[in-house]
């Protein structure tokens, strides 16, 4: 009998454990509603958000937001939502919105935004639009980012270049590149260090040199190879949402990758690439002066401040192939806050979202995370308070008519993966650029067709659901 | 059945019921559900939609699927025999009566205790094309252009094999246990008959440990075809030209990154059938060579 009781006890524990999956309506001892908030950031970015959360919690007596860093957040949100136990609030990236929205994982907030008077006019339009999909708003943008050319002014001076004249076109970039690139080459039995432009045509042809420093390489840091077509007038989807991976601009970018590799040699570039450290390290090739110019986001300042505080650096729009039509081209992205489907405290979570749409909290977060705000207007002293001396340039670029974001497609992750592989193949001369992009076009178009068929099956039902679930 | 036996049966079932429940809920149900999902368009977040054999048909035309399968088989064909042979050689060496034998055994077993992710991070540095220990060593041997292990598509799979060989400690221990079980009388008899060391190995040791070799072979087939962690950590996304995109990694990508859970389930079932088929084949081929002393 004793054994029977023991077994029953074990079973009871098991069932209780299973029951724990269902959350109870959590409140603090003083009766405040607890809003669970999952965020992807750690480190100083998390600290900055925690500061804003603390301010919010102090600012009113009804809600307590509890911030929890979670990684990888997109997978965890997906599983938690599918399991019916999501957090009340989550910090995603804007490129995830179409995918999560289309699959019914988010709560639409269009009505709630209207009710609280939060409108598109208050934001930099591109960032607001990144939070919308299929006629509904799903998120609010917080802490956006844009990309720009970062260049080492000291290396410019060393190469006899004017540090106040960054390149205005890809052709100029390549010309500067040849002056800034240093190689070790053997002449008459002696190893000599020369600028690339000082090599003889035969030495260039033979590529028997070691790269010591480069002016610019598409693969340094290489995070945006898949998106470089933007600077060549390319687009990854057209206005009707069709896949345009093989557009002429994208092809031009891929040919540029190929030409760069052919110029410097596969072996030389591999050796050079292998000798650098990661982005967040003192061995980052840009931070230690081995790369003079690179395309980077507003976040780069954090690493400069931490690992190379004495670096004399500048920021300029990354040059386009066509300096007139492509002037001030940049890519933008934004952290966004969303309310997953099935959140138990959606209204309270929205209050925090609305709070972050105010200038004060948004700017506090931006300064803390070294980014800028998605709001159209900022305080007069925002730029003075901001730690990044070039923050104004990033904001200007985000407001440029040539600012672009990744395509608003639910299959973007797959599309990006295909582009990444194809860009690598073009860069390392594995596949001709034309073939690489044709493969992407074919494969992604196939996947897109599948995704559209899926959407067609659920569209009517899903849109009805969205109207019913739109947060009041 | 007497009342006491019935009572004991009830009690026994009650005692194992937590396991039975766990098996039903956490193993049998997901496995059964995955069969159903493999015939569905399922993104985890919405209800699955029956699409018949579409996922299986898609696999036929999905070039990345075939590439991941090729990579995995290539890796298995390379890693499995090398691992089995190296482990056996090490076990035979570690079975010799030498000084500090225990210490040597511990040293060879230690790498298999290192968590896979930590090991992969270490190997990322060892295999670094310019600064890595391995290439520095090869350079001292006079190699002018040592392989770019991580960035050259030709070398990505061998680099994973190399890393896998580093962790053969588990297999070595299993071999060692079986080597110590070989009756000394057989060796003595062979010696009296004038058998050389090689002959003793060939005709005494190998037949006597053949069940263990067979066991390691089967476990190796299952393990190498499911390789995930090392490839995922070292070559996130599959490495250059997807040369290190393994089947399990592509399956994971489809399930959790691209949200094609139906397709991933179909892939999982195909992998199961592949492993089942290869295991059956290995069993058939080795049947006559595995000697069970009982």
What pLDDT digit, counting tens, does each position of A12-26 carry? 555 545 544 445 568
For A159-170, what is each residue's pLDDT tens digit?
999 999 999 999
For B185-222, what is each residue's pLDDT tens digit?
999 999 999 999 999 999 999 999 999 999 999 999 99
On whether the CB atoms of residues B61 and B45 are closer than 8 A, the answer is: no
Q: Is B19 on the interface with A (CB under 8 A)?
A: no
10 Å CB burial of residue A398 (0-12, 13-18, 19+) is: buried
Average pLDDT, chain A: 91
Q: Do A273 and B151 touch (CB under 8 A)?
A: yes
Interface of A with B in 11-40 (CB under 8 A): 11, 14
Neighbours of B106 (CB within 10 A): 12
Q: pLDDT at position A28, please?
A: 87
Cα–Cα distances (Å) from A445 to A302, A372, A441, A448, in that order, read 38, 35, 6, 5
Q: Specify the DSSP element, H or E, that contains A149.
A: strand A139-152
Sequence spans of domains, chain B: 62-289
Q: Do A421 and B242 touch (CB under 8 A)?
A: yes
Go through the domains of chain A in sequence order and give each one's CATH number: 26-144+333-407+458-469 (3.40.190.10), 147-330+409-451 (3.40.190.10)
Nearest CB partner across the interface for B44, out of A78, A413, A420: A78
Choose the weakest-confidence range: A6-10, A178-182, B13-17, B112-116: A6-10
For A40-55, what is each residue's pLDDT tens digit?
998 889 999 999 999 9
| pLDDT band with cut points at 50, 70 and 90 for residue B2 | confident
Angle A114-A120-A124 (CA atoms, 0-180°, nearest 5)? 150
Q: Is this prediction's pTM over 0.90?
A: no
Q: pLDDT at position A366, please?
A: 95
% residues pLDDT > 70 (chain B): 99
On whether the CB atoms of residues B31 and B213 are closer than 8 A, the answer is: no
Q: Do B145 and A454 touch (CB under 8 A)?
A: no
Q: What whole-number distance in Å separates Cα of residue A152 and Cα of residue A314?
A: 6
Q: What whole-number distance in Å separates Cα of residue A344 and Cα of residue A362?
A: 25
Mutate to test the interface with A, among B233, B259, B260, B262 (most CBs of A within 10 A): B259
For A372-413, what is each residue's pLDDT tens digit?
999 998 999 999 999 999 999 999 999 999 999 999 999 999
Q: List the beta strands (DSSP E) in A251-361.
A: 293-297, 313-316, 330-338
Mutate to test the interface with B, among A7, A267, A460 (most CBs of B within 10 A): A7
Q: pLDDT at position A275, please?
A: 75
Q: Do A82 and B44 touch (CB under 8 A)?
A: yes
A439: tokens are 């493969």
Q: Do B14 and A103 touch (CB under 8 A)?
A: no
Nearest CB partner across the interface for B240, out of A78, A417, A424: A424
Per-residue pLDDT, averaged over A138-153, amounts to 96
Q: Do B241 and A428 touch (CB under 8 A)?
A: yes
Q: Do A275 and B145 touch (CB under 8 A)?
A: no
Mutate to test the interface with A, among B11, B23, B24, B46 (most CBs of A within 10 A): B46
Q: Residue B145's closest chain A neighbor by CA?
A: A267
Dihedral sign of CA atoms A27, A28, A33, A38 in order: negative
On whether the CB atoms of residues B227 and B186 are closer than 8 A, the answer is: no
On whether the CB atoms of residues A91 and A73 are closer than 8 A, the answer is: yes
Q: What whole-number distance in Å separates Cα of residue A339 and Cα of residue A360?
A: 22
On whether the CB atoms of residues A103 and B43 are closer than 8 A, the answer is: yes
Q: How far is B168 from chain A (nearest CA, A)?
A: 28
Interface predicted TM-score (ipTM): 0.85
Nearest to A422 by CA among A255, A279, A296: A255
Per-residue pLDDT, averaged over A300-313, amounts to 94
Q: What whole-number distance in Å separates Cα of residue A169 and Cα of residue B5?
A: 88
Pairing outcome for strands B40-41 and B49-50: antiparallel
Residue A312 per-residue DSSP state: -
Q: Residue A4's closest chain B neighbor by CA?
A: B11
Nearest to A446 by CA among A411, A421, A405: A411
Q: Is B60 on the interface with A (CB under 8 A)?
A: no
Q: pLDDT at position A19, please?
A: 47
Cα–Cα distances (Å) from A180 to A177, A183, A206, in that order, read 5, 10, 20
Q: What whole-number distance in Å separates Cα of residue A318 and Cα of residue A328?
A: 7
For B268-280, what is each residue's pLDDT tens digit?
999 999 999 999 9
Alpha carbons within 13 A on the beta-carbon side of A439 = 19
Q: Is A464 on the interface with B (CB under 8 A)?
A: no
Cis amide prior to B237 (ω within 30 degrees): no
Neighbours of A384 (CB within 10 A): 7
Cis amide prior to A72 (ω within 30 degrees): yes
B86: tokens are 């190296």
On whether the CB atoms of residues A394 and A298 are closer than 8 A, the answer is: yes
Q: How far is A426 from chain B (nearest CA, A)?
A: 10
Q: Do A81 and B45 touch (CB under 8 A)?
A: yes
Give Rg (Cα) of chain B. Answer: 24
Q: What whole-number distance in Å separates Cα of residue A145 and Cα of residue B212?
A: 58
Q: How far is B202 from chain A (nearest CA, A)?
A: 45
Q: pLDDT at position A277, please?
A: 76
Q: Do B41 and A274 touch (CB under 8 A)?
A: no
Nearest CB partner across the interface for A274, out of B18, B129, B257: B129
Q: pLDDT at position A298, please?
A: 94
Q: A104 to chain B: which residues are within 8 Å by CB?
A: 45-46
Tell me the CATH number for domain B62-289.
Answer: 1.10.3720.10
On whether the CB atoms of residues B155 and B267 are closer than 8 A, the answer is: no
Q: What whole-number distance in Å separates Cα of residue A275 and Cα of residue A260?
A: 19
| pLDDT band with cut points at 50, 70 and 90 for residue B97 | confident
On whether the CB atoms of residues A336 and A131 are closer than 8 A, the answer is: yes
Q: Do A4 and B240 touch (CB under 8 A)?
A: no
Residue A187 per-residue DSSP state: E
Q: Do B45 and A104 touch (CB under 8 A)?
A: yes
Q: A81 to chain B: which residues are within 8 Å by CB?
A: 45
């Amino acid at each position: 009998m004793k054994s029977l009781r023991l077994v029953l006890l074990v079973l009871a524990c098991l069932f209780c454990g299973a029951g724990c999956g269902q959350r109870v309506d959590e409140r603090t001892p003083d009766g405040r509603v607890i809003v669970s908030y999952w965020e992807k950031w750690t480190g100083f970015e998390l600290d900055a958000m925690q500061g804003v959360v603390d301010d919010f919690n102090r600012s009113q007596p009804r809600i307590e937001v509890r911030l929890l860093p979670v990684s990888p957040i997109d997978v965890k949100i997906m599983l938690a939502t599918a399991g019916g136990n999501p957090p009340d609030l989550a910090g995603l990236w804007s490129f995830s919105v179409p995918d999560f929205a289309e699959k019914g994982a988010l709560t639409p907030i269009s009505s709630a935004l209207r009710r609280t008077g939060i409108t598109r006019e208050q934001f930099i339009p591109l960032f607001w639009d990144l939070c919308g999909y299929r006629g509904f708003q799903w998120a609010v943008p917080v802490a956006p980012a844009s990309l720009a050319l970062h260049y080492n002014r000291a290396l410019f001076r060393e190469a006899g270049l004017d540090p106040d004249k960054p390149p205005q076109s890809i052709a100029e970039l390549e010309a500067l590149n040849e002056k800034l690139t240093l190689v070790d080459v053997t002449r008459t039995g002696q190893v000599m260090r020369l600028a690339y432009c000082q090599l003889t045509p035969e030495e260039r042809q033979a590529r028997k040199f070691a790269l010591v420093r480069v002016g610019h390489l598409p693969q340094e840091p290489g995070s945006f190879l898949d998106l470089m077509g933007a600077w060549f007038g390319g687009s990854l989807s057209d206005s009707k949402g069709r896949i345009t991976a093989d557009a002429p601009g994208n092809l031009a970018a891929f040919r540029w990758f190929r030409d760069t590799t052919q110029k410097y040699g596969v072996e030389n570039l591999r050796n050079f690439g292998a000798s650098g450290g990661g982005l967040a390290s003192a061995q980052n090739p840009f931070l230690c002066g081995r790369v003079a110019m690179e395309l980077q986001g507003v976040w780069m300042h954090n690493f400069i401040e931490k690992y190379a505080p004495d670096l004399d650096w500048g920021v300029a729009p990354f040059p386009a192939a066509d300096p007139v039509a492509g002037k001030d081209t940049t890519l933008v992205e934004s952290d966004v806050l969303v309310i997953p489907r099935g959140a138990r405290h959606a209204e309270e979570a929205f209050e925090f979202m609305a709070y972050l749409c105010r200038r004060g909290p948004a700017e506090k977060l931006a300064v803390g995370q070294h980014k800028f705000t998605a709001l159209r207007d900022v305080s007069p002293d925002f730029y003075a308070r901001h730690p990044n001396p070039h923050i104004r340039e990033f904001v200007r670029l985000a407001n440029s008519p040539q600012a672009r974001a990744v395509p608003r497609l639910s299959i973007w992750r797959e599309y990006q993966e295909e582009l990444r592989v194809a860009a690598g193949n073009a860069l390392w001369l594995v596949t001709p650029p034309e073939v690489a992009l044709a493969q992407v076009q074919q494969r992604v178009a196939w996947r897109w067709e599948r995704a559209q068929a899926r959407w067609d099956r659920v569209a009517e039902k899903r849109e009805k659901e969205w109207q019913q679930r739109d947060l009041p | 059945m007497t009342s006491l036996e019935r009572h004991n049966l009830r009690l026994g079932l009650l005692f194992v019921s937590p396991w039975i429940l766990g098996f039903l809920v956490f193993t049998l149900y997901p496995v059964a559900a995955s069969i159903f999902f493999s015939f569905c368009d399922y993104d985890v977040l919405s209800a699955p939609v029956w699409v018949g054999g579409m996922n299986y048909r898609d696999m036929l035309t999905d070039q990345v699927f075939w590439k991941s399968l090729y990579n995995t088989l290539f890796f298995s064909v390379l890693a499995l025999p090398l691992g089995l042979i190296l482990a056996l050689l090490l076990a035979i060496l570690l079975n010799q009566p030498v000084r500090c034998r225990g210490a040597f055994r511990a040293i060879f077993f230690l790498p298999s205790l290192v968590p896979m992710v930590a090991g992969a991070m270490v190997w990322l540095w060892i295999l670094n094309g310019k600064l890595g220990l391995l290439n520095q060593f090869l350079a001292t041997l006079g190699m002018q252009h040592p392989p770019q292990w991580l960035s050259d598509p030709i070398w990505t799979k061998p680099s994973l094999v190399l890393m896998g060989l580093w962790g053969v400690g588990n297999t070595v221990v299993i071999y060692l246990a079986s080597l110590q079980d070989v009756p000394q009388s057989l060796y003595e008899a062979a010696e009296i008959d004038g058998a050389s060391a090689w002959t003793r190995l060939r005709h005494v040791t190998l037949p006597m440990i053949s069940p263990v070799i067979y066991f390691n072979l089967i476990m190796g087939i299952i393990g190498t075809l499911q390789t995930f962690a090392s490839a995922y950590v070292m070559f996130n996304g599959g490495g250059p030209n997807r040369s290190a995109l393994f089947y399990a990694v592509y399956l994971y990508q489809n399930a959790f990154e691209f949200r094609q859970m139906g397709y991933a389930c179909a892939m999982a079932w195909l992998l199961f059938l592949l492993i089942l088929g290869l295991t059956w084949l290995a069993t058939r081929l080795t049947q006559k060579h595995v000697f069970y002393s009982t």
